[in-house]
Structure 1
Amino acid sequence: MKPKIKLMLSMLLVMFSAIALRAQVACEANFQWSVNPNGVYSFYDSSFTAQGYVISQYQWNFGNGYTSVVQNPTQQFTTAGTYNVCLVITSQLQGSTITCVDTVCKSIVVGCSTYIGGSFNFTVQQQTVAFSSNYSSNYPPLSYTWVFGDGASSSLPNPTHTYANQGTYQVCVTVSDSFGCSKTECKNVIIGTATCNLQAYFTSTQPGPNTLVVTSQTTGGNVASNIHVWKLNGVVLGTTTGNGSSHTFSPLPANTPDGNLQLCLRVETPNAPCQDSFCKTITICRANGEFAYNVLANDTIKFTPPANMANIYSHKWYANGNLFSTDISPKVKFSNSFVGMTICHVVSNAQVPSCKDSFCTVLQAQPCNANAQFQFLTDTNGITKFYPVTNATNWSHTWIINNDTVIQNSISPALYLSPDTYNVCHIIALNGNPNCIDTICQQVIVRNAPPCNLHITIAKSVNPNMQVLLEASAINMTGAFTYNWSNGSSTKVINVTNNYGVYCVTVTEAGSGCTATACFNYQPNAPLDTICGITFNDANGNGVLDSTESPMSIRIYINGNGQQLSVVSDSVTGEWHAYLPAGTYNVCAYVANSGTTGGWVATLPVSQNNNGLSPSACYTVNIAPNQNLCGFNFGFQNTKVTICGYVYIDVNANGVKDSTEHGIQGQAVKVGNYTVYTNTDGYYRVNIPAGTYTVNYTPISPYTGYTALPANYTIAATTIGQPYCGNNFGIQVPSGQCDVAVDLAPLSTVTPGFRAIYTIKVFNLNGYTTSGLLTFNFEPGLTFYSAAPAQSSFDNSAATVTWNVSNIAPGTYKSFTVRLNTPQNFQLGTPVFSFAEFTTNGNCTETNLNNNIDTTHQTVVASYDPNDKHVSPEGNIANNGQELAYTIRFQNTGTAPAVNVVILDTLNDNLDWSTFEFKNASHSCNIQQEGNLVSFIFSNIMLPDSLQNEAESHGFVSYKIKAQQNLPNTTRITNSAAIYFDFNEAIHTNTTLNTVDFSLSVKNVNAKQPTITVSPNPFKTYTNILVNGAEESPIEIEVRDLAGRTVVKQISESNLIQLQTLNLASGMYVYELKQNNGVIGTGKMIAQ
């Protein structure tokens, strides 16, 4: 029976909403979880707290003996089964001792999420069949159970079986891993005269997000009728028919993860005992940056990405290159006209860092601002009134209720609706433009409500941060209230800044259940007052923007009248604007002076400028209502000169830095008495007093011994504020030779229960494009978690990760990051050793193998500090000018992006400052050394804060330096650094410690300092060690593996020692040569 519906001309003032509310609680524990392709579970806290309560403690119990106290932990279950995972939260009412504790437990079924990949093949020789398997799993070792179809079986990985009779046999293998997962695969084997000759194969591409194109390249069988069954990560995508068939699968199944997945093809020939399978690993990335946008009322724009881009994906929205939101679907009103603005949307998967996509478009004017959204209120008499967001008179409105009641030409109709659930659709169209139309449908629930005398008011206010707030207040009743806003908020006060529209709140009194509703129509205010000006480079210091001077982009800080904000002047015009309510403000501009960017002083306004010696200047501005004041200009003069240039590989030896020739990082350039280092682009720059300087450059490691042209420059840098650039140095390298260097740096401590992170860079030092294999060897006991870019393989039992690296151009490098899981039971104090090595693919000759390997030493520690300093090796060192590798790690744990990061490092007096060499950095930085003070300046780094993007909130810099020679025994070498994030106080790192220990040294009694040549190296069967310049006495060689075990020890009467591989396993070894009880040389060698 249809409800009685009656159109009413008026409605009562007291109304209530039909939306049911939950009872008031102080805290409610809850969580969600997800699992990645490697079987690692990520748990996400989604607990609720009432207004004023803050969660002070999280206690997780994963049901497997492990616990955690972090908010969003990860856990890897080692066996399949059902686990009872519990979360206990403790929250406290701010300013009191009142606490609330709540617990929630959920059952987690851990199955075989780690799909066993691979397949098996076989060859038939008469009646003997040789089977070969290529299965893999994240949890080796694998076990095999073969059933050959004639009653025989085997447990070998690659068995051979002979059949007694001809016929067709179904052969099945069951593969199991240490996690308890298994996979069974069967194929028909034909013995005798019948032949099948069916071989499955395919190619695949991913032309766009969420799209996979497969093309069969199967041979044999019935060419036209072979049935192809496609599976991705064990899920059937579909079937195709015929060899050579191609198909596009789009969209992919909703639960398809990003990352490396198994794509498998099974081919069957109809009416014949022929089938074959083929699998391979492909990389899937469903990130999709595409979006649509709608222009709503008052030029507010709503951006909408595809529906499947929520949950695991992070979003960054840029307007003309400036980040304006990290919401999934932001709604924004820009301060300037949006027409012609370039909007870019970057989508990335935090769990698979290599998976990201971007899409950009230029916003166009949309004359159609149709928006059919609406709110509704129901009073105690059952009168429901509908409130559209768009209520201007130039729009027509149509309301459809339950598909049978139509109300036209009524902006805000009022209806009697008996208690029930209704489907209400609202259609809005622009008068005179029938194509400008919008429709929305939603459920309206009408319930009976108890009579009450509750009234609600909504007040709007603006806080000191210029946020617009709406606050709901209850009248005529006291008690505990809950709040349910139409935008989903459940607090008394909500932030609606720039999100214009109608906001309704339903308030419920907990004791009586009495409810009341009120609405507020939030629309833009009249434009605020304007203050503005120009910032410029006042090269001649006269306080005027002359025709020969250029604008500059700097940040303007404004505070006063309860406001505090900053704006950045335009980099092209120098113009800046601020929109403020009437009042009195301090308006200041500031240019940082540090390291290579020093020398700036303010020239305008002079009266606020500390007699022309300050890098900052301020105005005091009084602005009246409806007033626009401009002319608040800021001039800055650089009182020094800038000398700059590049260090690059001169591949074609023409003495000019061509566009295809790459710069070299970490090279020291001497400008007079100043030392400056090239950044990641090979660029150097130094700001120094005006004068005449000689610029010298001598290549340092890894280019020590190479020639650079020209040898030097003489520069008369006499005009202050003037840049003197183009002072480039080209390194001459031989073509057709390879020289690859590896740099390994730890980006974290090794702490139980946390991830250990490492970065590796492979540099091509010579003039020949190089490819090869990168292998990262990590400490046994750690387990692989992820890599970026994706690894070619990993083996937890062998503790290795590999990448096939191709086409490293001369003078460039490629970066790799690997994350490892540290078991919670890893013993504190355990030494951790890791190394990375690169082997070229043999298409050129390596000139120097000593730099193909880099190592790092760490110790398992109990705590993790994101801003710290690490030294390798740790602890005691020998007094022999020991080389020390330092890494300074930093993280932005604030609440906004860091614009600039500066690290100041004062080198210890027991270090040889002249041996300082830059190694690596996470971001481009400028480095300057003045005596023992080294500054690392990350300008405009825009480092995200950890709350918005934890993965990208980290950075690091690393360098190496030698200890002084002839230090006394027990000498302590300490080192620490100060890290500055913008204008915040310095964060001081821990202090590293190395102690000179004579017991680690072996006296070198051979004064001739012989030269040692190892060739070939790497070697397969043998290598020759030639010692020239040694004494005429026996030479002892001792070879150790990386665990310190002696694997070879022999004495030679000759200066030519031949070392056979014999039982040496493939890998890296360290050799030591002794003569007359003294060490005459050490080095590394690689057995293949």
Structure 2
Amino acid sequence: MRVRATIDGQTVWQTREVSALSGGGAGGQGSLTVHIGLGDAAQAELIEVYWPSGYTQSLTNQAADQYLTIVEDDGGLVSGYAYLDANQNCQRDAGEPGLPGRVMEVLPGPYYVTTNDSGYYALSLPLGSYTVHQVAEPGWQQSCPAAGSYSLTASAQGQQLLGNDFGSQALCQGPELSVSLGFTAFRRGQENSGSYTIHNRGPEAASPLSLHLDLGAAGFLSGASLPWDAVTVLPDGGRRYSWDLPSLPAFGQLTIQLTDSIAANAAEGASLDILATATTSGPACATTQATASFSAEVTGSVDPNDMLVYPAGIGPGHVIQPSDTLYYRIRFQNLGNAPAARVEIVDTLPATLDLSTLRFIGKSHPGVESVSEDGVLRWVFAPIYLPDSLSDEAGSHGFVDFAILPQAGLPAGTRIAHQAWISFDYQAAIATPPVFRTLGLRNGEVPVEAEVWVSPQPVETTGLVSVRIPGTPAVDLPLEQVDLYALDGRYLQS
């Protein structure tokens, strides 16, 4: 990069190379920060950045005495709104709200992006010609644009393609509730953070609104951003936390930030189950009640930047069925000594996962998620101002959730493995430990029905295990391998 400024009456050009090893200032090793001295100049008249892609980006008349974050312009930025077209005039009028959570597909690619809480979406694209359309949403009918989609051409670097709005009408005029849950690691003896989010995706308010959160016996809430109205003890020793609210407006969202504590004597590896329920007594589009559940193991010390996947699967190979939906959670934590203004998560899905079945489920902070044509998932939280763990340990955590199915027709034994990369404020990305699952039986195959005999019971030191297949002659053959599991599915030994 190079910078032009008038210093002591002279036009001066200064050049810097920016790399992971050339940053200036204290602790410059590994930094992407450079410092430019401007003397008595009040501004940098021109900043030119020469990106590795070959693109030259220019900024003019930038004031002195400031830090600038410069990100490479994309080929084209397509953006717009999804909104309620109440009067069917194909334009967003005052009082017509944006529709959150709508999915836009861009072809060729495909590329995907979802609208934020205001109904806004934006997606960066390489140079080329594209068609943008809104993925159909149950209970809604798209009314605009008349052609059903937009045809666009990104012909120049940094071009902005604005105003690609989609109007829709609700087929039902009642509220439509949905619930999502998210938690960081359940660490025994420590406080952990989570969130309980309720959406009303319908065009009318949900009134009144009753919320319940059932927490297993190993845990309890120590705080909430919205204080609960009541807490009761459940028959299994768990607790139910209740909130009674007058209403949740149309297209509204309520997120309750939670702080939970796990008992110090909770068994490591034990399962902690959480159930959330939102109920309205008024007429609703789909149902008057929405639920969400969450289950995870109680842990000791954990890597704060990791990826989890459920179901856990059976045995050391984490064997699952081809029809199992895989639920992924990527967790992150700011372990620095200052708040992080920006967090980005990138997860490249393996070809063994079916991209067409992808569902974004939830996230801990407001942000934008997108999917590229080659299955690269990206979440960007900016600005997020995520506290550092030294000043606010509980607030330094975050997460994203998504669900997806394996590709159909994969053979038994196929391994589904991947990992995510997390970066804070453009620093070098942190890789999560890889996770994997193994496909079990092919669709259509039937397991052998057999009787397993163990004696004596209970086994103290030595036992005999035999397998008998009904209807077949008895044959004295050694078993090649016996895998032992606990009643809750945990692998013990072979």
**TM-score in same-fold range (> 0.5):** yes
| Cα separation, 2, equivalents of 1:873 and 1:824 | 26
Residues 728 and 858 (structure 1), Cα distance of their counterparts in 2 relative to 1, 3 Å cut:
same
Tell whether the 8 Å contact from 1:690 to 1:719 is kept in structure 2 after alignment. Answer: yes
| Cα separation, 2, equivalents of 1:858 and 1:911 | 23
Which residue is 1:823 aligned to?
A: 263
| SS across alignment from 1:768 | coil
| Cα separation, 2, equivalents of 1:637 and 1:821 | 43
Residue 671 of structure 1: how far off its partner (Å): 4.4
Which residue is 2:198 aligned to?
A: 762
Residue 922 of structure 1: how far off its partner (Å): 2.5
Q: Indicate yes or no: 2:300 matched with 1:862.
A: yes
Residues 764 and 641 (structure 1), Cα distance of their counterparts in 2 relative to 1, 3 Å cut:
same
Gaps of at least 5 residues in structure 2 are 7-12, 14-21, 447-486, 488-494
Tell whether the 8 Å contact from 2:259 to 2:394 is kept in structure 1 after alignment. Answer: no
Work out which of the residue numbers 842, 854, 879 in structure 1 matches 2:321: 879
| SS across alignment from 1:738 | coil
Residues 657 and 883 (structure 1), Cα distance of their counterparts in 2 relative to 1, 3 Å cut:
farther
Residue 878 of structure 1: how far off its partner (Å): 5.0
1:645 aligned partner, one-letter code: G
Residues 745 and 639 (structure 1), Cα distance of their counterparts in 2 relative to 1, 3 Å cut:
closer
Question: How many residues were matched structurally?
Answer: 409
Which residue is 2:457 aligned to?
A: none
Which residue is 2:143 aligned to?
A: 709
Residues 658 and 975 (structure 1), Cα distance of their counterparts in 2 relative to 1, 3 Å cut:
farther
| Cα separation, 2, equivalents of 1:637 and 1:987 | 21
Which residue is 2:282 aligned to?
A: 843
- With 809-818 and 731-740 compared, the bigger mean Cα shift is at 731-740
Residues 806 and 875 (structure 1), Cα distance of their counterparts in 2 relative to 1, 3 Å cut:
farther
Aligned pairs (5 A) from 1:108-507: none
Q: Deviations over 1:460-514 (max 9, x none)?
A: xxxxxxxxxxxxxxxxxxxxxxxxxxxxxxxxxxxxxxxxxxxxxxxxxxxxxxx
| Cα separation, 2, equivalents of 1:801 and 1:915 | 34
Q: Deviations over 1:349-403 (max 9, x none)?
A: xxxxxxxxxxxxxxxxxxxxxxxxxxxxxxxxxxxxxxxxxxxxxxxxxxxxxxx
Work out which of the residue numbers 620, 645, 648 in structure 1 matches 2:83: 648
Which residue is 1:905 aligned to?
A: 347
Work out which of the residue numbers 211, 227, 230 in structure 2 matches 1:793: 230
Q: Indicate yes or no: 2:205 matched with 1:749.
A: no
Q: Indicate yes or no: 2:377 matched with 1:934.
A: yes
Q: Deviations over 1:694-742 (max 9, x none)?
A: 111113xxx3363223321123444543311111123321343232111
Q: Deviations over 1:965-994 (max 9, x none)?
A: 344344433332110112322211233333
Residues 943 and 639 (structure 1), Cα distance of their counterparts in 2 relative to 1, 3 Å cut:
closer
Q: Indicate yes or no: 2:116 matched with 1:680.
A: yes
| Cα separation, 2, equivalents of 1:714 and 1:617 | 29
1:992 aligned partner, one-letter code: V
Aligned pairs (5 A) from 1:588-737: 609=50, 613=54, 638=73, 640-651=75-86, 653-660=88-95, 661-665=97-101, 667-681=103-117, 682-699=119-136, 703-704=137-138, 706-710=140-144, 711-737=148-174
Residue 835 of structure 1: how far off its partner (Å): 1.7
Residue 894 of structure 1: how far off its partner (Å): 0.7
2:202 aligned partner, one-letter code: N
| Cα separation, 1, equivalents of 2:51 and 2:227 | 56
Q: How big is the alpha-carbon RMSD for the aligned residues of Structure 1 and Structure 2? A: 4.2
Tell whether the 8 Å contact from 2:173 to 2:285 is kept in structure 1 after alignment. Answer: no
Aligned pairs (5 A) from 1:531-570: 559=24
**Looking at CA atoms only, which structure, 1 or 2, has the larger radius of gyration?**
1
Residues 642 and 764 (structure 1), Cα distance of their counterparts in 2 relative to 1, 3 Å cut:
same
Q: Which has the higher strand share?
A: 1
| SS across alignment from 1:875 | coil
1:745 aligned partner, one-letter code: G
Work out which of the residue numbers 186, 204, 210 in structure 2 matches 1:773: 210
| Cα separation, 2, equivalents of 1:999 and 1:926 | 36
| Cα separation, 2, equivalents of 1:563 and 1:985 | 13
| Cα separation, 2, equivalents of 1:634 and 1:828 | 43
| Cα separation, 2, equivalents of 1:752 and 1:617 | 52
Residue 998 of structure 1: how far off its partner (Å): 4.4
| Cα separation, 2, equivalents of 1:875 and 1:770 | 39
**Percent sequence identity over aligned pairs:** 26
Extract structure 1 runs of 4+ deviating beyond 6 A: 560-564, 576-581, 615-618, 633-637, 999-1003
| Cα separation, 2, equivalents of 1:761 and 1:561 | 42
Residues 742 and 563 (structure 1), Cα distance of their counterparts in 2 relative to 1, 3 Å cut:
closer
Residue 763 of structure 1: how far off its partner (Å): 1.0
| Cα separation, 2, equivalents of 1:873 and 1:805 | 34
Gaps of at least 5 residues in structure 1 are 1-530, 535-542, 544-556, 569-575, 582-588, 590-602, 619-628, 1004-1043, 1045-1088
Residue 858 of structure 1: how far off its partner (Å): 0.9
Q: Indicate yes or no: 2:365 matched with 1:923.
A: yes
Residues 944 and 708 (structure 1), Cα distance of their counterparts in 2 relative to 1, 3 Å cut:
same
| Cα separation, 1, equivalents of 2:188 and 2:424 | 29
Tell whether the 8 Å contact from 2:322 to 2:443 is kept in structure 1 after alignment. Answer: no
Tell whether the 8 Å contact from 2:182 to 2:363 is kept in structure 1 after alignment. Answer: no
| SS across alignment from 2:299 | coil
| SS across alignment from 1:832 | strand
Which residue is 1:1025 aligned to?
A: none
Residue 640 of structure 1: how far off its partner (Å): 1.8
Tell whether the 8 Å contact from 2:204 to 2:250 is kept in structure 1 after alignment. Answer: yes
Which residue is 2:411 aligned to?
A: 968
| Cα separation, 2, equivalents of 1:914 and 1:856 | 24
Residues 867 and 806 (structure 1), Cα distance of their counterparts in 2 relative to 1, 3 Å cut:
farther
2:300 aligned partner, one-letter code: A
TM-score (norm 2): 0.71
| SS across alignment from 2:246 | strand
Residue 940 of structure 1: how far off its partner (Å): 3.0
Residues 821 and 605 (structure 1), Cα distance of their counterparts in 2 relative to 1, 3 Å cut:
closer
TM-score (norm 1): 0.34
| Cα separation, 2, equivalents of 1:562 and 1:968 | 51
Residues 605 and 846 (structure 1), Cα distance of their counterparts in 2 relative to 1, 3 Å cut:
closer
Tell whether the 8 Å contact from 2:410 to 2:442 is kept in structure 1 after alignment. Answer: no
